[in-house]
Structure 1
């Protein structure tokens, strides 16, 4: 169990990366103090439930599906867009549940995914250099001096936008929208599309299983509701620290901004502020691992973040790239297996496969995403460990940001509906296609 809250602020004495260059520190302190006085967005009991679910996934008895926006925007927090993202995750989860023959833990990159790490503190266009866009919770996307100025008031707007988002998530997932039969009917329409008929067998098998459940008297009232958890990258400490509360029952600190938080590839230094802070909170936590990660680093991260080897506490999210995962991942799996640790292993097939087109669009090839997923499963089969989940940047909308898929999006098509402010996302159809392909891999286990 993490250390009690006496040293929760030790991170302030350590090197820290990827934070805004605030110009008014008094304003930041005032906003952080206000956020600290506001109600939590999630509760300790919910967080504990998720840790139990992730422990089952790490043991090979469940599978994690984590999906949502690269970077949420305030303007994108509409009822329709939130509903479409939830709908997409639910549709994927039905397919994966059947393929895995086990529960699927559903989690959105939602209700807090507002901050983004950047490779440079500034952006230059022509002869103008301005601060980089770090997500709506920090500054604006428009390339003007006023827009790009970090604004502490955005921290508070981030809290309220996250609150309204999670309120709607709860309504959709508990109020009948998530009814298994309705979600499956959406998938049948997808599989009957001529472009996706290779998935019709699986959709038909699921249909037959649901009809059997109905005939056998399954309690579909219970299947109208689902557990749906939230997660985001715990990047911006002026938001994460004031959302950290000490549970009155146990005296243990929880980050109440989300059920699950992860540390990015750019901020996981062992002696850095983020790792220190994350080691003190009770939430289940993730760490992104790129292709250059050494086995020694992984063991050191385990010792720092999960010294008691608690099931469900630590998730490794691998982002290797399709051309590297088959070589880079097995040594990490072997080392951790030999050390007797049992973290949850999840693949992020998005971040290692970015390309830029000649016309300047950041994109990803759907075939590369699929290939990395297959490489992830192959590596686990070779080592004898469990491929426990998938972490995907997606939207429920019909955007054109990633190349390929059954819609055959090409470079000329990208410009028609490219809406992401940061990284390209799978659209609704591509997300469902990926779910059917992952289900096929799960059936091979």
Structure 2
């Protein structure tokens, strides 16, 4: 068997020479070089052994023995690195995981979109706004706090490589708090279930799920009665993930593991390649083909089965279970038509892959008020279609990939709270794409739980 990943990682200049999509246009190369040198001197944010453990868990997902819950912000911000924000995101993920674990009767792999999700691809390099007294003003698009500022001023929108150093520190602070919460008693199963009970009692839509909540309560009471108190009741494993987008950051954080002499991107446990950067001969696919982390690829409506098979051959040449996750984002109206031939041909080719549904990105639209939003019903429709397709083909619907927050924002319409487009302005806080709020996220978890019971 050949070595699946050469120890040599292409130089940064060689990667850029391949044609690197969605990269910042830095005005000062010397400042870029200084930031990259600084990043290379920093300790790892995650350890290679943790990445290997996650890969084993994702191998179970690919075999139909586990389910993946991946969620968090569309785009993290430096201002959002607070104890309250991190705790709220973690809390809603834990709540969702309890419901899904009980329904699926298989382990739920918990993967946060945090501690690195600071860069975003954009459909245009420029943004134009009409400003009072100035008319139309065109500036570079906001590409996430890793690149430039959200404030619509010429100074703010200049790409600044020093922000990559700040990404590292913000990610380190986030991971430190997440690890403290998940090992220090905050994730105790009984406490997390009590949060769900509170949701059921206090929310109009929550009462619809009272039966499931009561079943979980009885199960916990039974475990307590027989004296079962496993360590898993008190602590959980939560891994980090983000889109590997800015090459300078990901390359600087790629290190050779002292145990195996193989390269790992130690900025995160799991990295994914986006729909806009999955070119087979492009820089992002080349870099992630060389690192040993578990990785994902977003597959949108234009993806053919041959594209998916070619990506698998490049990114997972040894067809290693747990190495590769395909994250489909087809849109609620297209999934029943586009997903079956993709899954069928990939399955026939014998590709070892975990299939995960991203029901968010294919369902974004602009409301009449100008806000980007998503309909909760469309999100649910795409997840249901994902389950329907896999059930019909005898494959495992391996997980969901969500943009969500633990806060009571008003960014997606619909759901049990019946948010309407007129409500979007009340608390629209995302700097990029709309997220499900806490109530919508928990409602989704209960609905997915119903699907899992039938899968």
Q: TM-score band (shorter)?
A: over 0.9
2:197 pairs with 1:188: yes
Q: After superposition, what is the alpha-carbon deviation per residue over 1:100-145, rounded to whole angstroms, capped at 9, x for unaligned? A: 1010000100000000000011111132111100000110001000
Contact kept in structure 2, 1:4 and 1:251, CA below 8 Å: no
Matched, 1:16 2:25: no
2:102 aligned residue: 98
- Could you tell me which of 37, 42, 59 is aligned with 1:33? 37
The aligned counterpart of 1:165 is: 174
State the secondary structure of the residue aligned to 2:57.
helix
Contact 2:65 2:106 (8 Å CA) reproduced: yes
Do residues 115 (structure 1) and 119 (structure 2) align? yes
Residues 204 and 416 of structure 2 are in contact (CA less than 8 Å); yes or no, is this contact kept in structure 1? no
How many angstroms apart in 2 are the aligned matches of 1:377 and 1:210?
28
Say which SS state the counterpart of residue 68 (structure 2) adopts.
strand
CA deviations over 1:311-338 (Å, ceiling 9, x no partner): 0000000000000001110101100111
In structure 2, distance between residues paired with 1:194 and 1:16: 48
More deviation, 319-328/211-220: 211-220
Structure 1 residue runs of 5 or longer lacking an equivalent are none
Matched, 1:393 2:403: yes
The residue number in structure 2 matching 1:55 is 59
Task: Name the counterpart of 2:157.
Answer: 148
Shift of 1:73: 0.2
Distance across 1 between alignment mates of 2:96 and 2:166: 31
Aligned residues: 445
Deviation string, structure 1 residues 183-232 (Cα, Å, up to 9, x no partner): 00000111223332111111111111111111122124441110000000
Contact 2:4 / 2:318 at 8 angstroms: preserved in 1?
Answer: no
Distance (Å, rounded) in 1 between the aligned partners of 2:138 and 2:338: 37
TM-score (norm 2): 0.97
User: Which stretch of structure 1 is more off in the superposition, 63-72 or 1-10?
Assistant: 1-10
Query: 1:4, CA displacement in angstroms?
Result: 2.3
C-alpha separation in 2, matches of 1:201 and 1:130: 53
Give the CA deviation at 1:8.
3.1
**Once the two structures are superposed, what CA deviation does each residue of 1:14-68 show, in whole Å capped at 9, x if it has no partner?**
1110000000011011111110110000001100000000000110000000000
Q: Which runs of 4+ in 1 moved over 6 A?
A: none
Shift of 1:291: 1.4
In structure 2, how many angstroms separate the alpha carbons of the residues matched to 1:149 and 1:292?
A: 32
Whole-Å Cα distance in 1 between the matches of residues 210 and 30 of structure 2? 59
Return 91-100 or 210-219, whichever deviates more. Answer: 210-219
Alpha-carbon distance between aligned partners in 1 of 2:159 and 2:216, rounded to the nearest angstrom? 49
Q: Is 1:351 the counterpart of 2:361 in the alignment?
A: yes
Contact 1:240 1:257 in 2 (8 A): yes
Greater alpha carbon shift after TM alignment, 109-118 vs 222-231: 222-231
Partners of 1:87 and 1:396 within 8 A in 2 = yes
Q: Which residue, 274, 277, 283 being the options, matches 1:273? A: 283
Q: In the alignment, does 2:255 pair up with 1:210? A: no
- 1:134 has 2:143 as partner: yes
RMSD: 0.9
Which of 309, 323, 339 matches 1:329?
339
The match for 1:125 is 129
**What is the distance in 1 between the residues matched to 2:346 and 2:298?**
15
Separation in structure 2 between the aligned mates of residue 191 and residue 115 of structure 1, nearest angstrom:
36
User: Is 1:84 equivalent to 2:94 in the alignment?
Assistant: no
1:424 aligned partner: 434
Query: Secondary structure, in 3 states, of the residue corresponding to 1:251?
Result: coil
- CA offset digits 1:345-382 (Å, max 9, x no partner): 00000000001011101000000000000000000011
1:73 maps to 77
SS in 2 for 1:57: helix
In structure 2, the partner of 1:441 is 451
Cα distance in 2, alignment partners of residues 137 and 143 from structure 1: 16
2:246 is aligned to 236
Task: Give the Cα–Cα distance (whole angstroms) in 2 for the partners of residues 302 and 155 of structure 1.
Answer: 30
2:133 matched residue in structure 1: none
